[in-house]
């Protein structure tokens, strides 16, 4: 499975990218039809400390699942987005 990580207006370090890859690899085991994953990391221009956004799109045969979360750190935002995607995958599995 292919994992694309894009960081907007900054360079993500290797440690952050490896953290994201490990989280995505774990969730990919929940669905056999997963084609790929796009992860976009953004910095929001606000005065709040919760200005890190992680947007994760799981590409699945038939449809895509998307989750976007905003937190204090990219790791926190990634965890929240992965949890939301896990719930979406469970709902999708129940439909089938």
Tell me the per-residue pLDDT of 6-37, one tens digit each, with 9 for 90 and over.
999 888 899 999 999 999 999 988 888 889 99
Q: How far apart are CA 68 and CA 16, in angstroms?
A: 17
User: First vs last Cα of the chain: how many Å apart?
Assistant: 22
- Asked whether the predicted pLDDT for residue 71 surpasses 80, the reply is yes
- Which residue range is the domain that position 11 belongs to? 2-95
β-pairing, 2-7 vs 34-43, is parallel
Q: How many domains does the chain have?
A: 1
User: Any idea what the CATH number is for the domain that residue 72 is in?
Assistant: 3.30.160.100
pLDDT for res 30: 83
Given phi > 0 = left and psi -120 to 50 = alpha, else beta, which region is 62? left
pTM over 0.85: yes
Q: How far apart are CA 73 and CA 56, in angstroms?
A: 15
- Asked whether the predicted pLDDT for residue 86 surpasses 90, the reply is yes
């Amino acid at each position: 499975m292919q994992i694309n990580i894009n960081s907007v207006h900054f360079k993500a370090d290797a440690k952050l990218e490896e953290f994201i890859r490990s989280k995505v690899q774990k969730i990919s085991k929940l669905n056999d039809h997963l084609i790929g994953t796009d992860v976009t990391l953004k910095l929001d221009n606000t005065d709040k400390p919760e200005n890190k956004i992680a947007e994760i799109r799981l590409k699945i045969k038939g449809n895509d699942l998307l989750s976007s979360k905003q937190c204090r750190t990219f790791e926190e935002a990634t965890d929240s987005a992965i949890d939301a995607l896990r719930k979406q995958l469970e709902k999708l599995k129940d439909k089938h």
